[in-house]
Amino acid sequence: MKNLTDELTAIMVTNELGWRVHFCNSVFEFSNHSPAGQEISVCIEADSLTSLASQLRDYYESYDCSEETMLWLDPITGHGKNGAPYEMIDVYKDMEAVQQMLGVLADAIQDVALGSIKNYGFVKTLTFPETIAEAREQAMEWQRVQSQQSMSYGEISEATEYFSEIAKHFGVEIEEEFRENGII
């Protein structure tokens, strides 16, 4: 990767999402655990953030929950093996969760590559919204991200404070909307 700032930003964002990342000689190794505790590891060789984002997106889109599930099932009994959940359906649900985690990771790296960094821990958006439409879009993105990952009380408090500032800036209409939707 040619730009150390890009590399460090990508590492920071992935860490905020709960992924560990190791970078060496243009190879990114992302690791995490599924909700059921299965180890996840993705290695991608990339010489730019754009390439990394594209390859992560391809990996996410080609991830096959059924195929991954079969790797964790005993071929005779159909039950989980090697620490996987016992029931087949639970293994499959875990692999669906992994796919969702990969999608969030791919989105985050794409944001870094495009220069529209969002603090996925969450709300240090680089630009304060200029319009009510942008404020609504940020609020919807916050709700999407919040629904897909665990958040600390500090992160939720930070987001509430941020969106309260936006509501004060744009007035009663957006403030009521944010309250009705649980944003503030």
Mean pLDDT on 141-168: 76
Of the candidates 132, 66, 135, which has an alpha carbon nearest to the alpha carbon of residue 99?
A: 66
- Reply yes or no on whether the pLDDT at 115 is more than 80: no
Mean pLDDT on 3-22: 70
Q: Which tens digits make up the pLDDT trace of 86-96?
A: 999 999 999 99
Contact criterion met (CB below 8 Å) for 115 and 10: no
DSSP assignment letter at 149? S
Sign of CA dihedral 134, 135, 136, 137: positive
What pLDDT was estimated at residue 126?
35
Least confident of 61-70, 112-121, 144-153: 112-121
**pLDDT, mean over the chain:** 83
What pLDDT was estimated at residue 77?
94
Residue type, 97: A
Q: Which tens digits make up the pLDDT trace of 20-52?
A: 888 788 888 999 999 999 999 999 999 888 899
Tell me the pLDDT band of 150, cut-offs 50, 70 and 90. Answer: low
Of the candidates 4, 13, 9, 8, which has an alpha carbon nearest to the alpha carbon of residue 105?
A: 13
Domain ranges of the chain: 4-114, 132-180
pTM: 0.62
Tell me which H or E stretch contains 45. Answer: strand 39-45
Residue type, 96: E
- Angle, helices 4-16 vs 88-114, to 10°: value is 150
Q: Which tens digits make up the pLDDT trace of 56-105?
A: 999 999 999 999 999 999 999 999 998 899 999 999 999 999 999 999 89
